[in-house]
Structure 1
């Protein structure tokens, strides 16, 4: 019996009130950074000190690198938004209806860009639309104040960013690269287990492979945060990115090995003898490449931990559907315009703040796979935030203006929301962040603090109405369903496969191109669709993934062959690959093997790639319900 000494000796984390010590440390850092940002904003007498506090709430992330990367994109997006607001307000300030139409177009454009990006880059695109709505709508009647308002907002955001950076540095916020290294190592174990099953000839599920590709590709937006974490951040980013690409390559090789026919013990004719020889060559090569891929991942993980550059560096290109992004942008513009028309026609108060919140919810909802689900959480979080803000303003502060009382009163709310943010729950964590942000938006800390109950009640009612109207607009004109997104992505994968030999195909290394395909599979597996739909799509999309990967390997290996005397055999193999005919591919592989053997030339890599391509294009490998024919 083997005893797991490592797990037995592992220290148990300290837990208080159900949360580990690192969660409490994160909550304490968030509260202190918010107090520092508010204190400096009050001292400098900024126009909008609440923007500094909101910046801290937005940048509240557990590790140093994540917060600093998001801070950089927040500053960049604010700069772009201020410039756009000045241009839009300067040109369309005298045309209220046209100004709102232009703002709707800007919201739609930013939503389109959001759909083409991921992570904090997508957040920056969404924030650009929020900034324009905040500045241009708020100063719709005073366009000359657009520039000072933009400068004041930028200053407040800068103070919030500095507060987060100082507190994280002084209190030694943890680095993210150990967490990322552990996650990559866990993924390597899963890929290795998958490969071992393939070696033993055990059947593998396409859904399991697609889920692993999803988990690998989901690390793409998080890797960028390593760059801002330390002086060795660039090297760690390159190492993590390379490990991620090599994991996709290893999974692709394992799937090729899994469908490879088992070599026969005794051949009965020359054809079977030829196929058996090719299969054995292919199997040996795939085993060596699998071992090499695993070694590359381990080397990259070591480089990630030590902060050095990996031996080889791969890019990790991202795939995004232009059609899905465009449809999301059009819908976002229509949603904003419809709600703006309701507010303007009704002539209600607090229209400026409401339209800003509308733009914020629309923009931020476009960064998640389920926009309506995000809006539903916003509708749920808004009344909670209003109640908490009312308790703080009228029961805790109750007309006083001392900063010490502000600090004590904010502590339970900020720390409690920050603790919720650290939870792994997909519902409680975003609710914690939304409650924190909305509470600060309603409370609007200032010096002196306003205590007008009528203004407070009206603000709460209309902010809640704004969230409800966004949800209603998304019900009236819903975003693309998960099923339709999956159909579009699967169709685009099939078209990309057909265009693989054309000049329109991206010029990427095989591993890099495989990761790009993996990012598309990740979008399919995270779409808000029925499990049965995902299961059916996984079989089809993994079919295209395998075929594209083998074709790219064939092209790369054939290009490495010496021009003479294998030129004609390589040309015949390329022609067979263009036909996508398994018999022609296997015949070309046999011809190449004979010529290479006659001239004593090593061509095992190219032969293995051709054999895997031949197996990948067998009719038996087609997913159920597929109607793919031969390529003309």
Structure 2
């Protein structure tokens, strides 16, 4: 039997060649073929910027079909927006002298702000709108009449790159993404189920474990959108995955609420609340039923994701972003760009447009990274690597040749090597490999015929490296918000939302959807400092805000359902107690609701199951004197 288990494990373990799985080599081959196809078609059509097609392939180099096609769609959309913005800016401000860099800086800041309010490839599209203006309007700053032809040429090259990626992925059967996503969701489902089972058994719950699960579930939000472009069943799978992550957060929230209830022995000893034991029993039974129901909903959603069907219950998964943090990032990006522009204008260098456009590219790309300064630091290291690789290819490998076959042979090691690094699971190598590949193609600028002027190449390398260094220096001079400051802003916004909930406002979302939005805030708090976890007190405060918001929304939702019944007076009393955050008054209102409902033969178990935890979470343990015990942090 042990031997059979070992052989089975060997069969499951992926095959490795030269230190990389076979799937990584297949991915590298697809990237190479797509890039060569894009360059060949661009040369054949005699496009003005064939290198844009190759760069597009490098940017869209993602392991699965869905991820690449979603990013391709946003790249086309952002390019169109950037071309329109370039024409508008160049046509309006080309003759305004020093005002033009300021306008370009404002556009950069606006794009960074929008990127900060979005996630995933939508944030990339906002940043690309800034990059497109940099590559079109800035490089044609002295010849505004060339903005439109340059924009059309860039759009055509990008379209060819997108089509090349789509064709190669289809012909070579690039893997789908939904099996990977379904596997990750099933792993999270098992973790949440185990957490809920411990809560049902009355075991202590871990605040850190709950926060980590909320972070991991919310982190899947940007990846789910890519399923839309995967196949004809993509929209159904997207809806199923979205419902699954909302259901997971709801199940976890119910488990935490159940864990917050005091033990039956503690409530039975409370003489000041003789009805507390009965209310607790009703609440515990209802919460257990809700956990079972949510668990079944998640299971159904996962089955629908696998089968490509719409789930029985569809939820929205609203995105949470801090406007203040996004605005601060946008203002800083605008100032960084304007400072660099002032340096170039004062220096009077002839290649100012090239360096300024590259600076805008780095600023835009860094806006989509969790840590902009860390991204810029990586760009500072990637740029000389790219210059070295481009120089080796141009003057040692190609050395004056213009045949496409030799170009393909020379590019193969670079593209395959970078693609293999991109497939690494984590660490600094994947982003470094992608940046090095993109920057190498930008500096090499494959064309037909290929230029081999050493003076142009050296100047390009010099100013490319200078642009990354200047962006890094600008970010040192005016750094982004610190992790502690961003956490404080996120927690302040959570407290403000709680204040609005106390007054019965801010209920435009269903409680389950709003809980997912709050989970997205926790995900940002936990990932603000990268791999460094925030202090336990921060995690505890974030979870306390999450728990309070969950119970308040449930209370108001259930009370709204009973507002027009004969329980109107009891409902108003419960709302007043919630506003005051008076645990004893909330319990009194809950008991009044139970007695009044019994006389009217109405079912109020969901309301009681919401009010009783509210009396504990909003005013911990005051309504159960002398208990002093609990599993809730």
Q: TM-score, normalised by structure 1?
A: 0.95
Q: Is the 8 A contact 2:581 2:619 kept in 1?
A: no
Q: Is the 8 A contact 2:267 2:277 kept in 1?
A: no
2: CA distance, partners of 1:123 / 1:587: 52
Q: Is the 8 A contact 1:213 1:522 kept in 2?
A: yes
Residue 158 (structure 1) aligns with: 159
Cα deviation digits, residues 481-517 of structure 1 (max 9, x gap):
1110000000110010001155761500000000111
Q: Is the 8 A contact 1:46 1:156 kept in 2?
A: yes
- How far has the Cα of 1:9 moved from its partner? 7.7
1:368-387 equivalences under 5 Å are 368-387=369-388
Corresponding position: 1:87 with 2:98 = no
Cα deviation digits, residues 444-472 of structure 1 (max 9, x gap):
00000011112111111110111011001
Residue 174 (structure 1) aligns with: 175
Does the C-alpha gap of structure 1 residues 335 and 620 become closer, same or farther in structure 2, counting only changes over 3 Å?
A: farther
Residue 107 (structure 2) aligns with: 106
Residue 501 (structure 2) aligns with: 500
Q: Is the 8 A contact 2:112 2:367 kept in 1?
A: yes
Residue 71 (structure 1) aligns with: 72
1: CA distance, partners of 2:47 / 2:113: 34
Residue 136 (structure 2) aligns with: 135
Residue 22 (structure 2) aligns with: 21
Cα deviation digits, residues 335-368 of structure 1 (max 9, x gap):
0011111122212243222111111111111112
- How many residue pairs match? The answer is 621
Choose 270-279 or 368-377, whichever is displaced more.
270-279
Does the C-alpha gap of structure 1 residues 439 and 326 become closer, same or farther in structure 2, counting only changes over 3 Å?
A: same
- How far has the Cα of 1:539 moved from its partner? 0.5
Residue 626 (structure 1) aligns with: none
Q: Is the 8 A contact 1:134 1:352 kept in 2?
A: no
1: CA distance, partners of 2:170 / 2:321: 36
1: CA distance, partners of 2:427 / 2:6: 33
Q: Is the 8 A contact 1:392 1:409 kept in 2?
A: yes
Task: Give the SS at the match of 2:12.
Answer: coil
Cα RMSD after superposing both structures: 1.9
- How far has the Cα of 1:268 moved from its partner? 5.5
Residue 448 (structure 1) aligns with: 449
2: CA distance, partners of 1:163 / 1:267: 71
Choose 521-530 or 378-387, whichever is displaced more.
521-530
Residue 255 (structure 1) aligns with: 256
- How far has the Cα of 1:140 moved from its partner? 1.1
Corresponding position: 1:519 with 2:520 = yes
Residue 43 (structure 2) aligns with: 42
Q: TM-score, normalised by structure 2?
A: 0.95
- How far has the Cα of 1:565 moved from its partner? 3.0
Does the C-alpha gap of structure 1 residues 266 and 309 become closer, same or farther in structure 2, counting only changes over 3 Å?
A: closer
Choose 194-203 or 569-578, whichever is displaced more.
194-203
Q: Is the 8 A contact 1:483 1:530 kept in 2?
A: no
Choose 603-612 or 236-245, whichever is displaced more.
603-612
- How far has the Cα of 1:560 moved from its partner? 2.7
- How far has the Cα of 1:11 moved from its partner? 2.1
Q: Is the 8 A contact 1:481 1:529 kept in 2?
A: no
2: CA distance, partners of 1:563 / 1:92: 60
- How far has the Cα of 1:251 moved from its partner? 0.8
Residue 625 (structure 2) aligns with: none
Choose 199-208 or 606-615, whichever is displaced more.
199-208
Corresponding position: 1:561 with 2:571 = no
1: CA distance, partners of 2:269 / 2:41: 86
1:142-291 equivalences under 5 Å are 142-264=143-265, 267=268, 271-291=272-292
- How far has the Cα of 1:572 moved from its partner? 1.3
- How far has the Cα of 1:118 moved from its partner? 0.5
Residue 121 (structure 1) aligns with: 122
Residue 600 (structure 2) aligns with: 599
Q: Is the 8 A contact 2:325 2:486 kept in 1?
A: yes
Residue 627 (structure 1) aligns with: none
Gaps of 5+ in 1: 622-632
- How far has the Cα of 1:600 moved from its partner? 3.2
Task: Give the SS at the match of 2:321.
Answer: coil
Task: Give the SS at the match of 1:458.
Answer: helix
Residue 337 (structure 1) aligns with: 338
Q: Is the 8 A contact 1:524 1:534 kept in 2?
A: no
- How far has the Cα of 1:49 moved from its partner? 0.2
- How far has the Cα of 1:596 moved from its partner? 2.1
1: CA distance, partners of 2:127 / 2:259: 43
Cα deviation digits, residues 393-436 of structure 1 (max 9, x gap):
11110100110111111111101101111112231110010000
Q: Is the 8 A contact 1:214 1:525 kept in 2?
A: yes
Does the C-alpha gap of structure 1 residues 310 and 381 become closer, same or farther in structure 2, counting only changes over 3 Å?
A: same
Task: Give the SS at the match of 2:275.
Answer: helix
Does the C-alpha gap of structure 1 residues 82 and 332 become closer, same or farther in structure 2, counting only changes over 3 Å?
A: same
Residue 628 (structure 1) aligns with: none
- How far has the Cα of 1:267 moved from its partner? 3.8
2: CA distance, partners of 1:263 / 1:598: 27
Does the C-alpha gap of structure 1 residues 32 and 268 become closer, same or farther in structure 2, counting only changes over 3 Å?
A: closer
Residue 624 (structure 1) aligns with: none
Does the C-alpha gap of structure 1 residues 304 and 530 become closer, same or farther in structure 2, counting only changes over 3 Å?
A: closer
Choose 520-529 or 110-119, whichever is displaced more.
520-529
Task: Give the SS at the match of 2:411.
Answer: helix
2: CA distance, partners of 1:532 / 1:516: 21
- How far has the Cα of 1:265 moved from its partner? 8.5
Residue 629 (structure 1) aligns with: none
2: CA distance, partners of 1:4 / 1:591: 61
2: CA distance, partners of 1:538 / 1:106: 36
Task: Give the SS at the match of 2:319.
Answer: coil
Residue 298 (structure 1) aligns with: 299
- How far has the Cα of 1:291 moved from its partner? 0.6
2: CA distance, partners of 1:337 / 1:406: 39
2: CA distance, partners of 1:273 / 1:578: 24
- How far has the Cα of 1:556 moved from its partner? 1.5
2: CA distance, partners of 1:449 / 1:456: 12
- How far has the Cα of 1:601 moved from its partner? 2.5
- How far has the Cα of 1:561 moved from its partner? 3.3
